[in-house]
Amino acid sequence: MMAERRTYSVVLEMENAKSIDWDEIGLGLKALAREIAQVSANGFARPKVIVSHGGLEIDAVSLRSSIVTEAPQLAQVADLAFAASPGGRYYDLKNNGIASSEGNILVFLDSDTVPERNWLSTLLKPFVDRPETICVNGHTYLSYDDFFSRTFALIWFFPMSEGDKRFASKRAINANNIAFRHDWISSHPFPPHNGFKVSCTLLMHQLWSEGHKIVNVDARVHHYSPRGWRFFYWRALVTGRDADRKFVELHSPTRVQRIVKSLSRWGTMSWRTIRRVISHAPRTGMPLWQIPFSLVVGLAFYTLAFFGHFGLAAGFVRDEIETVPAYVGHS
């Protein structure tokens, strides 16, 4: 029985790899190899790593070559497999990887995240300690190295890396840093949806509706920060549209209630931005003189999000499938 609990696979989503550099991806792959080697030395079987991508089957050749070049140690500690989903969106790629996976536990990681030390052992431990565990959720945070990345880290939906325990304790599930009991996720894949980042919220509510506890652990990965004004503009609008979609799915499809929600959420997120920037900015190393500008940027983000939210709620824009536009760049 113990041997069964110690088998697992990793689904590595490669959609975001289109917008970051291979040397950045390589850091995450090297860290993944290090983490796999550590847990393999402590009783877990050699895993299968499924690279799920949105290209054609033939693209696996170049992907394998790039991975072996950037992180040759990964192929030494895991069996690499490639799953193509031509044109697949973010959650399509995650679901696409499930079918090729093996073992009793399935770990999801993104190509633009970098695991910290002991990430994998921390993520897997609850499954070994408590056989009833269904879902273990890690701690993802944005890395930062300049004014805009610090601002994104402050206003984003990820908790900060340090000093943010209250927010971290209530964090939603991170599709980029999470593990499931294999039989459960196989029968409950990420729900299909027009939204950009809605499916993970719907899956979280499925877990709750079935009475499953989501185990939050300090299994840390850092996510590369969004960069560029084009991403800022697009991501703010889609954040608002996704907020409306979640409200429709979980609360009410009534247009008046959706419009009221867009207004109340604008106020809530504006106040949250002010509070988080003022309280957490010094911890990021942001100079005092930059804090007012960070507030302006954060409030601008959630004002744009309001327009996205209100526009969809009021019927000014159609509810179409969200895809990452080619102009966005680093995301």
Q: Mean pLDDT over residues 168-192, rounded? A: 93
User: N- to C-terminal Cα distance for the chain?
Assistant: 42
Residue 312 has a pLDDT of 98
Residue 180 — pLDDT band, cuts 50, 70, 90?
very high
Residue 329 has pLDDT above 70, yes or no: no
The model's pLDDT over 22-64, given as tens digits with 9 standing for 90+, comes to 888 999 999 999 999 999 999 999 999 999 998 889 988 989 9
Residue 127 has pLDDT above 70, yes or no: yes
pTM for the model stands at 0.94
Give the C-alpha separation, 196 to 190, whole Å: 12
Residue 18 has a pLDDT of 56
Residue 169 has a pLDDT of 78
Residue 138 has pLDDT above 90, yes or no: yes
The model's pLDDT over 216-243, given as tens digits with 9 standing for 90+, comes to 999 999 998 887 888 999 999 999 999 9
Q: What is the 3-state secondary structure (H, E, C) of 161-179?
A: CCCCHHHHHCCCCCCCEEE
> Which residue is associated with the tokens 């499809």?
253
Residue 331 has a pLDDT of 43
Domain spanning 2-223: CATH superfamily: Spore Coat Polysaccharide Biosynthesis Protein SpsA; Chain A (3.90.550.10)
Domain boundaries, the chain: 2-223, 229-313
DSSP E strands, 192-316: 214-223
